[in-house]
């Protein structure tokens, strides 16, 4: 059965258009137009498909980046959480230690408040003992330098404590120090050293009985002297050596046996040693008495013509002229001040 469309498309079926009507479209338009539309549709579909594929790739890449970033973020968050936990643990530990330190500080402060009065009491007791020692040095030995040093130690201790209530005591100690500094200085160590040197030189001092006159020099014999004259001259010289005639201007030196000589020197040493102790105790009367006795023994038993004996006599004379009868000040002001402070503290404690 023939297709009506084929019949209509055949040339025989073409009816010529009447005049005055538009001519029908050409056949090729009918064929090309659908093909162009189909190609355009296919191109649009392909382009859309390519775009969709590209979009899918971009979305996949973006999702992969987002997933990677999310993993990194999770790891970072986890590390931050771990750090936060560690920090919180450390903060808790520090808070515990801070609480312990505050507790210890409070205990130490309470202990210091309890011990502070005791510390002041100990300081006052030590200062009192130092002042008593200085007073004993002045009264028994007359040691001005030792007493002054003790007062300086007591003042330095009070200065380190820096308590307002100790100011009157420091003033009293300062006044006593000024009085001790005004005392004339006696070089006790230097004088003691000179006495020690004198004691050491006693063993070498020559005795009076050991005194010897210089032997006369031999006279020159004459050149033409005869034999018998020379014999007589030599015999006379030997006789002169056996007999000696002296004119003495002092009493005859006593004869001493060796044991007596030993005890004489030892007694002289004891006298000088006693003078040394008198010097340390500032006993001027006994000091001069011992030195005078030593000088008498030197004149009586020792050779006063020898230089060592003369030097020792000069030393004893200089030492006897030393003035030691100086009125030494007391430390009653400092002792009274420290005892007043102790009484005040005892009254406050009793309340």
Asked if 131 and 150 count as a contact pair (C-beta separation under 8 A), the reply is yes
More confident residue, 63 or 327: 63
Question: Minimum mean pLDDT among 175-184, 242-251, 306-315: which range?
Answer: 242-251
Domain residue extents for the chain: 116-184+330-350, 185-209+253-325
Question: What distance in Å separates the CA atoms of residue 286 and residue 191, rounded to the nearest whole number?
Answer: 15
Whether the per-residue pLDDT at 1 is higher than 60: the answer is no
135 C-beta neighbours (distance < 10 Å), count: 18
Q: What angle do CA 134, 139, 144 make, to 5 degrees?
A: 55
Q: What is the pLDDT of residue 267?
A: 93
Counting residues of the chain whose pLDDT is more than 70, the rounded percentage is 79
Q: Model confidence over 191-204: pLDDT tens digits?
A: 888 899 999 999 88
pTM of the entire structure?
0.43
More confident residue, 293 or 231: 293
Question: What distance in Å separates the CA atoms of residue 256 and residue 248, rounded to the nearest whole number?
Answer: 19
Question: What distance in Å separates the CA atoms of residue 261 and residue 254, rounded to the nearest whole number?
Answer: 11
Q: How many CA atoms lie within 13 A of 281 on its CB side?
A: 11
Whether the per-residue pLDDT at 170 is higher than 70: the answer is yes
Q: How many CA atoms lie within 13 A of 317 on its CB side?
A: 8
Q: Model confidence over 15-25: pLDDT tens digits?
A: 444 444 444 55
Q: Model confidence over 281-299: pLDDT tens digits?
A: 777 888 889 999 999 999 8
Q: What is the pLDDT of residue 12?
A: 45
Reported as a pLDDT band with limits 50, 70 and 90, residue 117 is low
Q: Model confidence over 78-107: pLDDT tens digits?
A: 888 888 888 888 898 888 888 888 888 888
Question: What distance in Å separates the CA atoms of residue 62 and residue 75, rounded to the nearest whole number?
Answer: 20
Identify any residues that bridge with 207 across adjacent strands, giving them in sequence order: 302
User: What average pLDDT score do residues 334-345 get?
Assistant: 83
Q: What is the pLDDT of residue 273?
A: 93
Q: What is the pLDDT of residue 13?
A: 42
Q: What is the pLDDT of residue 242?
A: 67
User: What average pLDDT score do residues 32-54 get?
Assistant: 83
Asked if 207 and 301 count as a contact pair (C-beta separation under 8 A), the reply is yes
Q: Model confidence over 153-162: pLDDT tens digits?
A: 888 888 888 8
């Amino acid at each position: 059965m023939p297709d009506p469309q084929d019949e209509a498309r055949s040339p025989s079926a073409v009816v010529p258009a009447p005049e005055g009507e538009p001519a029908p479209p050409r056949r090729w338009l009918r064929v090309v137009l659908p093909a162009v539309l189909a190609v355009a549709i296919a191109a649009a579909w392909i382009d859309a498909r390519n775009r969709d594929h590209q979009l899918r790739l971009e979305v996949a890449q973006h999702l992969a980046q987002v997933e990677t970033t999310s993993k990194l973020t999770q790891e970072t968050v986890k590390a931050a959480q771990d750090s936060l936990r560690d920090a919180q643990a450390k903060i808790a530990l520090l808070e515990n230690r801070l609480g312990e330190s505050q507790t210890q500080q409070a205990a130490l402060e309470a202990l210091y408040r309890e011990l502070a009065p005791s510390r002041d009491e100990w300081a006052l007791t030590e200062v009192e003992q130092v002042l008593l020692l200085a007073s004993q040095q002045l009264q028994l030995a007359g040691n001005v330098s030792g007493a002054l040093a003790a007062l300086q130690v007591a003042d330095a201790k009070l200065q380190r404590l820096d308590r307002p209530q100790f100011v009157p005591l420091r003033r009293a100690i300062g006044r006593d120090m000024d009085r001790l500094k005004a005392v004339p200085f006696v070089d006790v160590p230097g004088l003691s050293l000179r006495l020690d040197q004198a004691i050491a030189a006693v063993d070498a001092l020559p005795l009076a009985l050991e005194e010897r006159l210089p032997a006369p020099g031999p006279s020159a014999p004459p050149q033409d002297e005869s034999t018998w004259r020379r014999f007589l001259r030599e015999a006379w010289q030997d006789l002169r050596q056996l007999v000696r005639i002296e004119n003495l201007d002092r009493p005859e030196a006593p004869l001493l046996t060796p044991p007596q000589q030993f005890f004489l020197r030892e007694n002289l040493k004891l006298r000088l040693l006693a003078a040394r102790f008198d010097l340390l105790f500032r006993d001027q009367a006994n000091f001069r008495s011992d030195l005078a006795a030593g000088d008498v023994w030197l004149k009586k038993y020792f050779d006063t013509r020898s230089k060592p004996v003369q030097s020792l006599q000069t030393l004893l004379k200089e030492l006897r002229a030393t003035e030691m009868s100086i009125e030494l000040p007391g430390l009653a002001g400092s002792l009274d001040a420290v005892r007043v402070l102790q009484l005040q503290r005892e009254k406050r404690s009793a309340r």
